[in-house]
Copies of this chain bind each other. A is one copy, B any other.
Amino acid sequence: MSYRRSPLMEERLANNRERILLATRKLVSEGGFREAQISAVATVAGISTGMIYRYFPSKADLFVEVLGAAVDQEIKILTQAAAGHEPAGERLGKTVTCFVRRALKGPNLAYAFIAEPVDPEVDTARLRCRKKFGDVFKAILVEGMQKGELPEQDPDASAACIVGAFTEALVGPIGPTTRNTQDKERLVASIQSFCIRAVGGAP
């Protein structure tokens, strides 16, 4: 035999994979999944289209991985924001604000992800992700109800409503098009108040 992967080569391969993921992430965060065609990903990553298929079985698989990684990162941050010993209403407010601010700062994938059109395979993954986001809020609600800080309510429904509320407020018709910082902060505050009142967590 006269070829064996050297550590150097190994590294370059891993590098390629990373480049593909990064390129996809960049394209998606700029123009959504729609703009992330294989050829575009290849161009941005500086490789050929064929290469992509040495690392990912299909475009759907690539998307699912990018989606998963971005969401996991976001969930981690969100979970930290949700931690603490303040009353549930306050914690909810902090968490919502955290998400919304990050989304407004963009290019951040999470919110594009939870709202965007894709093919069925990726869609399944997207639903799972929305559920994950919901679970962060659900945990706050359950604890708040246990402590008697929040009125009784269906935590699954309320959590879904919260995710839906800020998603729509962010990517919907009134979403961030050409807004200045002040407007953005006002939007953040409005969404936060809405969600806190919604779960009965107003002081």
Residues of A within 8 A of B (CB): 34, 116-118, 120, 123, 127-128, 130-131, 134, 151, 153-154, 156-158, 160-169, 172-175, 186-187, 190-191, 193-195, 197-200, 202
Are A169 and B173 within 8 A (Cβ)? no
Q: Is the CB of B166 within 8 A of A161?
A: yes
Q: Contacts of A169 on B, CB cut-off 8 Å?
A: 157, 160-161, 164
Q: Give how many copies assemble into the complex.
A: 2
A33-B195 Cα distance, complex, nearest whole Å: 32
Most buried by B among A34, A154, A187: A154
Nearest residue, chain B, Cβ from A193? B153
A-B contact pairs, 17 of them (CB 8 A): A34-B120, A117-B117, A131-B173, A131-B174, A134-B173, A134-B174, A157-B190, A158-B190, A160-B168, A160-B172, A160-B173, A163-B168, A163-B172, A165-B165, A165-B198, A167-B168, A194-B198
Pick the residue among B117, B164, B190 that contacts A154 (CB under 8 A). Answer: B190
Task: Write the nearest CB–CB distance from A56 to chain B, whole angstroms.
Answer: 22
Top 5 closest pairs, chain A to chain B, by CB:
A164-B168, A117-B117, A198-B198, A161-B165, A157-B190
- Give the docked Cα–Cα distance between A172 and B156 (Å): 11
The reply to whether A153 and B198 form a contact with Cβ atoms under 8 Å apart is: no
Q: List the B residue with the shortest CB-CB distance to A187.
A: B157
